[in-house]
Amino acid sequence: MFNSKPSAGTRIRLLSMPDDPHPVAPGTTGTITEVREVGVGRDRWLQIDVDWDNGRQLMLASPPDRFEIITSPPSRLL
C-alpha cells in the first residue's frame, strides 16, 4: 500500500489536514520524528509524528492527510 514510507528526520510541507478540528495550516513545514503503520490490509494507514516549525507537535494520519517531502534525512553508512 505504501510505496515509499517517510522516516524520522524527513522534512515535510503540509498540503492538507481535512479531518482535524484544529489543523496545522497548509504550507507549514516540519520534521518527522516517528512513523508507524496502523491497521491491517486495506485499512492500513500511517501515523506520522511531526515537530512543526510553528512549535506544534501534531501527528498526521496518512491517508487522509496530505504532505510533500522537502528533504530526506541523510543516509547512514553501515
Phi then psi for residue 20, to 5 deg, are -90, 135
| Nearest alpha carbon to residue 36 among 73, 7, 70, 57 | 7
Annotated domain spans of the chain: 11-71
Name residue 14's amino acid: L
The model's pLDDT over 21-44, given as tens digits with 9 standing for 90+, comes to 898 999 999 999 999 999 888 889
Q: Which three cell numbers stand for residue 13?
A: 510541507
The model's pLDDT over 35-73, given as tens digits with 9 standing for 90+, comes to 999 988 888 999 999 999 999 999 999 999 999 999 877
